Amino acid sequence: MQNDMTNDLNNSAATVKDNVSAAEWQMRVDLAACYRLIAMYGWDDLVFTHISARVPDTEDEFLINPYGLFFEEITASNLVKVNQAGEKVAPSKYDINPAGFTIHSAVHNARDDAHCVLHLNTSDGVAVSAQTEGLLPLSQQSLFPLSNLAYHDYEGVALNPDEKARLVADLGDANFMILRNHGLLTCASTVADAFLFMYIMQRACEVQIKAQSGGGNLTHIPPQILAGIQAASKEVTRGAGGDIAWPALLRKLRRTDPSFAE
Ligand SMILES: [Zn+2]
């Protein structure tokens, strides 16, 4: 039963693996794992929000989820390969959400180092994004995003070409972005880092909302500590440990449902 369902969701697994490079297959496995992890932590939003990755050794080919599948249904094989415009560049029985890909294509296009772009609409992320002061230095977790954080104001549901330019200008060389009244975004050179960055920012948002809900006075981490962290931002984000935690996360997934790697 499980196998029937998995096979049905796959885009002929054997065929896809046979027809892509080893590097692309590895990227597909990592990206599918990232979708499964987001679902596992409950940070998905039905079939909305997206995680995208650049196909290795290409400039303008990307992998993204088939629109309409839950994140827990994503496999390495059913990820859809598209170009900058969101048009399919390899056969797939699935379609993608072109509007949802717009933010991702803008970031991939503007940032050579952004091989993975992760965007979520979690309740705590949106809640913090709606706060005028944004993310506050309330927790150790918050220091990672605060070391390298950009904001982009909300301009409506659809992202037009003008807004794309403003979004990437706002992003600059940051790896963490809060989309005002909308959610969270991370980008990184690997899927592992994009996931770990998001994990830490999401946790920081959860802590902030809980701390504010507690009713007591809140202590902010002193500005000099924050300034020191910001001065060493690349060192700090490297310390987020994508490479260290990622293999353990993959093992965790394999213990529960290894079908992401099919
Ligand atoms: Zn969104």
Q: What is the pLDDT of residue 175?
A: 95
Which of 117, 107, 83 is CA-nearest to residue 163? Answer: 107
Check which CATH number belongs to the domain holding 97 and give it: 3.40.225.10
Gap from CA of 251 to ligand 1 centroid (Å): 29
- Size of the chain in residues: 262
Domain carrying residue 240: 2-261
100 Cα: distance to centroid of ligand 1 (angstroms): 8
The alpha carbon of 8 and the centre of ligand 1 are apart by a number of angstroms equal to: 28
> What pLDDT does residue 161 have?
82
If you ran DSSP here, which 8-state letter would residue 88 be given?
B
**pLDDT score, position 2:** 46
Q: How many CA atoms lie within 13 A of 41 on its CB side?
A: 19
Do 7 and 16 contact (CB within 8 A), yes or no?
no
Residue with tokens 């990755």: 53
Number of domains in the chain: 1
Residues of the chain with pLDDT under 50: 1-4
| C-alpha of residue 45 to centroid of ligand 1, in Å | 9
In this structure, how many other beta carbons lie within 10 angstroms of the beta carbon of residue 151?
15
